[in-house]
Structure 1
Amino acid sequence: MSLRSILAGTGVALITPFKKDLTVDFNALEKTINYVIDGGVESLVTLGTTGETPTLSREERLDIIQFTYEKVKNRVPVVVGVGGNDTAGIIKDLETFPLDKATAILSTSPYYSKPTQEGLYQHFKALAAVSPKPLLLYNVPGRTGRNLRASTSIRLANEVENIAGIKEATDDMQQCMELIRDRPANFLVVSGDDALILPQIACGFDGVISVAANTFPKDFSSMVRLCLKGDFVAARAIHYKLLKGYDLLFEENNPAGVKAFMHEQGLIENILRLPLTPVSQELQETISEFLKTL
């Protein structure tokens, strides 16, 4: 079975819950894992941006990977985020992290450095050469400062054997359609933008790696499955019910927004590590009122 089949549907970019002393709250992480799997998501992504990975020590990341495997218990595939802007450092992580139980590796484009398209190509080619699992590209120009163009993604897909897909988080629908038009047959294309997944599936996307699915797993994953079946009438009803929620999730910061939602739902403490801070009191109250409408 191809990775395109295995990771179709809704993947959730897991948060990392913290206790008030800022240590990782593994009890809340277990509760979150069970909540999203019971809600119907098809896969989990650990150590993504939503997991506040830049603030986690190497030891914490290793512990979170192993804990996630243990608590998922093979119920759904697990994708592990291994990325950054130091190619050599990421290669070391890929060679030493416990990735045997991972289905794939998700690696973001290098942030801050703003390499050329050739630099991006060579970066991902170097990672793919050592990755023990299929590599998924992650294009999120709003965070990295550099867009991974569709032409570069397709070049990687065609020329580098171990690159199996992409999480595309641009709002450029023309670029999204070029990806779908030109991709190899088994190349996975999933969204990184919750608000755009409905039209993107209409264009040919295979699914999404979602922030919203942390807090709305049942509704969100149902909507994505309806889209993939071509039932856009039923999917639109759910999409528009959640649409304001997407705005609230990202109004001030991700993952501050999703943590505010999950705190209101009684799943986690509303704790983030600096430089991130909880959402404003005004937004917290708006989130609380929105949840009551659901």
Structure 2
Amino acid sequence: MKEIQGAGVALVTPFHADGTVDFETLERLITFQIEEGMDYLVSLGTTGEVATLSSEERKQVWEFTAEKVDGRIPLVAGIGGNNTAEIVKQIAEFNIPGFCAILSVSPYYNKPTQEGIYQHYKAIAAVAKLPIILYNVPGRTGGNISAATTVRLAHDFKNIVAIKEASGSFAQFSEILRDAPEGFALISGDDPVTLPMMALGAVGIISVVGNAYPREVARLAHLCAHADFTAARVIHNRLLAITDLCFVEGNPAGVKYILKQKGFGTDTVRLPLVPIGDATKEKIKAQL
């Protein structure tokens, strides 16, 4: 899957002040990402607030994104949840041209066992028309996809091609890289650890801060891919403070505020998320 190497961005979904989808700003954001060097886009991942979009809105955003990208860079669709039957149905019915893969987060809230996680992805793999990228983010889901489960899925299903890893465990990253089949890709799911993960052998990043800083994130990933870690470290250090501020009051509220400062729409998020507070806004302005 060369399409998912390098720098990807988990696109925000811009909203008007009334909470409706702001397609004009979304188009400008897509153009910004492509012109600044992003390698691929993820539409409606966690950062896209997919949990608060209706099925009709999701379809509209995917179709609009594919139309505006127009094949210039690869696209990945985020489809995941904790109702296996419903996710299987959504993935089986997904037929929007222009997408090269599905990013599917592990089931949250239910707290399945490792066998339950395996069976969930087995059911998805059986119906998926596109390659599947696993997404492990225990801080959000309340459960970890163990390295053993990831490796088992990678060996058993050829259409499970990668994992976006945000567990923070370098021991786990190392086990995956050691034991997964050749060609299975490890992708950083956490901006601050992209450099060390790529030093281990990860193929890139699906970034949040890349919404606002696509050129820098893309440059960081490309330098790491060429083992120029000295130059990459300069960008890594420059991004650390603003990245921390992106997450201090939740994602994507922080990065949406930064985008607002850069002229990309409002910082509106949908409940239960709320905009960041004034103190964090002042800290972001100082960093900008």
Question: Shorter-chain TM-score: which interval?
Answer: over 0.9
Q: Check if 1:218 corresponds to 2:221.
A: no
Runs of 4+ in structure 1 deviating by more than 3 angstroms, as ranges, are none
2:95 is aligned with 1:98 = yes
Among candidates 32, 36, 47, match of residue 35 of structure 1: 32
Cα 1:129–1:100 shift into 2, 3 Å: farther
Whole-angstrom CA distance in 2 between matches of 1:252 and 1:63: 28
Q: 2:171 aligns with which of 157, 174, 177?
A: 174
- Following superposition, the deviation at residue 260 of structure 1 comes to 1.0
Letter in 2 for 1:149: S
1:76 is paired with a residue whose SS is: coil
Contact 1:157 1:184 in 2 (8 A): yes
Contact 1:41 1:221 in 2 (8 A): yes
Contact 1:69 1:101 in 2 (8 A): yes
Distance 1:193 1:14 in 2: 14
Per the TM alignment, residue 37 of structure 1 is displaced from its structure 2 partner at its CA by 1.1
2:8 pairs with one of 11, 14, 18: 11
**Greater CA drift, 193-202 or 261-270:** 261-270
Select the residue among 44, 48, 53 that pairs with 1:47. Answer: 44
Task: Give the partner amino acid of 1:248.
Answer: L
The answer to whether the Cα contact below 8 Å between 2:63 and 2:96 also exists between their aligned partners in 1 is: no
Partner of 1:251: 248
d(CA) in 2 for partners of 1:239 and 1:164? 27
Shift, 1:140, TM fit: 0.4
| 1:20 paired residue among 6, 13, 17 | 17
Please give the alpha-carbon distance, in whole angstroms, between the structure 2 residues aligned to 1:161 and 1:56: 31
* RMSD of aligned alpha carbons: 0.8
Distance in 2 between the 1:99 and 1:66 partners? Answer: 7
**Contact preservation (8 Å) 2:189, 2:207:** yes
Matching residue within 268, 271, 274 for 2:271:
274
Gaps of 5+ in 1: none
Deviations 1:8-56 (A, max 9, x none): 1000000000001111000010011111111111000001000000100
Q: What residue ranges of structure 2 are gaps of 5+ in the alignment?
A: none
Q: 1:155 & 1:99 partners in 2: Cα distance? A: 29
Q: CA deviation at 1:188?
A: 1.4
1:66 touches 1:98 (CA, 8 Å); kept in 2? no
AA of the residue aligned to 1:157 = A
Percent of pairs identical after alignment?
50
Q: Which amino acid aligns with 1:75?
A: R
Q: How many residues align?
A: 288
Check whether the contact 1:248–1:287 (CA below 8 A) recurs between aligned residues: yes
Q: Helix, strand or coil for the counterpart of 2:76?
A: strand
Q: Contact 1:202 / 1:227 at 8 angstroms: preserved in 2? A: yes
Partner of 2:73: 76
Check the 8 A contact 1:259/1:270 in 2, yes or no. Answer: yes
2:155 equivalent among 154, 158, 163: 158
1:154-195 superposed Cα distances (whole Å, 9 cap, x missing partner): 000001122111101111111011111111111111010000
| Conserved 8 A contact 1:39-1:218 | yes
Q: Secondary structure at the match of 1:190?
A: strand
CA distance in 1, matches of 2:5, 2:196: 16
Return the TM-score normalized by structure 1: 0.97
Counterpart in the other structure of 1:191: 188
TM-score by length of 2: 0.99
The Cα offsets for residues 78-123 of structure 1, whole Å up to 9 and x where unpaired, read as 0001110000001111122334421000000001001000000000
Q: Which residue does 1:264 correspond to in 2?
A: 261
| Contact 2:70/2:98 (<8 A) preserved | no
Q: Distance in 2 between matches of 1:265 and 1:71?
A: 21
